[in-house]
């Protein structure tokens, strides 16, 4: 970009970029562990956490109550994170800001890559697009159609793909690319 | 970066992100602290029950308005669920409702056991977040929900009636939320079951 490339940055800037990228990577790893313990990582886990609670009996229009005998086994005995609308609003607000800032800082570093403009544009867009698909998928799952839960997984993967590409290419250019100045 | 190197990098990134990215999507949810499962809560609050039933109720606009006036609670869920324990003759031994309040620190969920007369038989906090837990723990250690046993929805559900003083502000704040949830369950049972004469 304008003749300034990662490989030609001064040592202090290289250290800064490297530590920032590694920090975000460790944060992602911690996020992965948290999600696996708090919510679960399968499509079914995501769907059951986000989908609205459904009645156990089909009540007809105008019917005010319904009762049926159940077996105690039908009552949940496991912990489940159920992401209801207020939590969804809270999560969307904090993480649209947070993830967009992370995507912005990743993109800022990547602007100085020596890749062609098209490749660079596509790769730096991935974390932004992933964030939008991730959060958007949560709302669509809750209010439109439960199978949209797959978008949450696609969004998370797109964000991670963007991070890994940006980090791998940036670290290569910072430290290994021929002509890299240390 | 040469095309071959770029292709290798993208291949590695795809595999890595498919694994890691699944977690990134849902990692922003504060982990819950679950103190008791729904099943165990129902079982412990319906002593003597031989059969178990689930009853789901919808509220009419008038019933919602009554709850709003009586408890200051906007009951806007599409339906509410009670678990009923009945004896061998089919008489209700107890009903259990799970009530949730969404706070800025995440949900607080309470199981409330009610007698057939609408009075609180038992109440347990079943879920909160890791952030809320340290505030509520002093009250949980005192088993403070016992202070509301025997009251119907018209009773005293203020924290003054439910703690021994000396608590910090956030503890009192969340204690009051729990107390209000217990009162809501009692009010809901009264309006949607007892007043309908449908028990």
Question: Facing residues of B33 across strands?
Answer: B128
For A133-151, the DSSP string reads: HHHHHHHHHHHT-GGGHHH
Whether residue A76 lies inside any domain: the answer is no
Q: Does the beta-carbon distance from B198 to A173 stay under 8 Å?
A: no
Sign of dihedral through CA atoms B197, A60, B86, A54?
A: negative
Q: Does the beta-carbon distance from A161 to B21 stay under 8 Å?
A: yes
Q: Render pLDDT for B24-61 as a digit per residue (tens, 0 to 9).
A: 545 555 667 888 889 999 999 999 999 999 999 999 99
| Nearest-by-CA chain A residue for B5 | A169
Mean pLDDT of B107-130: 94
pLDDT at residue B18 tops 60: no
Q: Residue B21: which of A67, A84, A158 has the nearest Cβ?
A: A158
How many domains is chain A partitioned into structurally? 1
Whether residue A73 lies inside any domain: the answer is no
pLDDT band at B16 (very low <50, low <70, confident <90, very high): low
pTM equals: 0.70
Chain A residues closer than 8 Å to B38 by CB: 75-77
Predicted-complex ipTM score:
0.75
Angle of helix B3-24 versus helix A11-38 axis, rounded to 10 = 40
Joined together, the tokens standing for residue B180 give 């209000």
> In this structure, how many other beta carbons lie within 10 angstroms of the beta carbon of residue B75?
18
Distance to chain B for A12, nearest Cα, Å: 23
Contact A95, A128 (CB under 8 A): no
**What range defines the domain where residue A124 resides?**
6-50+81-176
DSSP annotation of A8 reads: G
Q: Does the beta-carbon distance from B32 to A130 stay under 8 Å?
A: no
Contact A112, A1 (CB under 8 A): yes
pLDDT at A158: 93
Q: Residue A65: which of B31, B43, B198 has the nearest Cβ?
A: B198
pLDDT band at B195 (very low <50, low <70, confident <90, very high): very high
- The overall average pLDDT reported for chain B is 86
From the list B31, B1, B22, B9, the residue with the least C-alpha distance to B130 is B31
Whether residue A35 lies inside any domain: the answer is yes
pLDDT band at B135 (very low <50, low <70, confident <90, very high): very high
* Rounded-to-integer distance, Cα A93 and Cα A129, Å: 16
Chain B residues closer than 8 Å to A90 by CB: 104, 106
pLDDT at A33: 83
Is A76's Cβ below 8 Å from some Cβ in B?
yes
Q: Render pLDDT for B71-100 as a digit per residue (tens, 0 to 9).
A: 999 998 889 999 999 999 999 999 999 999
Q: Hey, is B144 helix, strand or coil? A: helix
**What is the enclosing helix (H) or strand (E) of B54?**
strand B51-57
pLDDT at B157: 92
Strand blocks (E) in A17-110: 65-70
* Token pair 């969920």 in the structure block, residue: B109
Chain B residues closer than 8 Å to A37 by CB: 31
Whether residue A182 lies inside any domain: the answer is no
Q: Render pLDDT for B147-160 as a digit per residue (tens, 0 to 9).
A: 999 999 999 998 76
pLDDT band at B20 (very low <50, low <70, confident <90, very high): low
List of chain A residues with pLDDT < 70: 1-2, 38, 78-81, 179-182
Distance to chain A for B2, nearest Cα, Å: 10
Contact B90, B184 (CB under 8 A): no
Q: Residue A67: which of B30, B54, B127 has the nearest Cβ?
A: B54
pLDDT at residue B163 tops 60: no
A 85-124 residues with CB < 8 A to B: 86-87, 90-91, 94-95, 98, 114-115, 119
Domain range summary for chain B, segments of one domain joined by +: 1-29, 31-194
Contact A51, A43 (CB under 8 A): no
Q: Render pLDDT for A57-109 as a digit per residue (tens, 0 to 9).
A: 888 888 899 999 998 888 877 656 677 787 788 888 888 998 999 999 999 99
Work out the percent of chain B whose per-residue pLDDT is above 70.
80
| Nearest-by-CA chain A residue for B57 | A65
Q: Residue A168: which of B13, B79, B104 has the nearest Cβ?
A: B13
Q: Does the beta-carbon distance from A161 to B17 stay under 8 Å?
A: yes
């Amino acid at each position: 970009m304008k003749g300034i490339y990662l490989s030609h940055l001064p040592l202090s800037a290289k250290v800064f970029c490297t530590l920032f990228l590694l920090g975000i990577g460790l944060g992602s790893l911690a996020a992965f562990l948290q999600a696996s313990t708090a919510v679960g990582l399968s499509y079914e886990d995501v769907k059951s956490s986000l989908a609205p609670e459904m009645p156990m009996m089909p009540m007809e229009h105008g019917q005010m109550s319904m009762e049926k005998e159940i077996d105690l086994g039908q009552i949940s005995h496991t912990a489940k994170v159920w992401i209801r609308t207020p939590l969804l609003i809270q999560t969307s607000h904090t993480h649209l800001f947070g993830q967009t800032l992370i995507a912005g800082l990743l993109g800022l570093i990547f602007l100085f890559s020596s890749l062609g403009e098209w490749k660079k544009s596509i790769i730096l867009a991935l974390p932004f697009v992933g964030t939008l698909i991730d959060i958007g998928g949560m709302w669509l799952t809750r209010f439109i159609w439960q199978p949209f839960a797959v978008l949450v997984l696609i969004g998370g993967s797109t964000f991670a793909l963007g991070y890994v590409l940006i980090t791998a290419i940036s670290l290569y250019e910072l430290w290994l690319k021929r002509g890299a100045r240390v | 970066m040469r095309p071959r190197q770029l292709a290798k990098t993208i291949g590695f990134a795809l595999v890595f992100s498919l694994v890691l990215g699944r977690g990134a999507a849902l990692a922003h949810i504060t982990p819950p602290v679950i103190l008791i499962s729904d099943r165990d809560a129902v079982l412990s609050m319906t002593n003597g029950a031989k059969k178990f039933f689930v009853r789901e109720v919808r509220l009419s606009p008038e019933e919602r308005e009554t709850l709003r006036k009586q408890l200051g609670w906007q009951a806007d869920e599409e339906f509410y669920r009670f678990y009923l324990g009945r004896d061998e003759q089919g008489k209700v031994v107890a009903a259990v409702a799970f009530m949730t309040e969404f706070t800025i620190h995440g949900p607080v969920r309470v199981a409330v056991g009610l007698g057939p007369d609408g009075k609180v038989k038992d109440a347990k906090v079943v879920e909160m977040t890791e952030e809320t837990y340290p505030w509520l723990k002093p009250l949980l250690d005192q088993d403070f929900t016992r202070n509301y046993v025997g009251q119907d929805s018209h009773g005293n559900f203020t924290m003054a009636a439910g703690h021994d003083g000396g608590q910090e502000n956030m503890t009192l704040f969340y204690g009051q939320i729990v107390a209000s949830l217990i009162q809501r369950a009692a009010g809901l049972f009264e309006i949607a079951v007892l007043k309908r004469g449908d028990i």
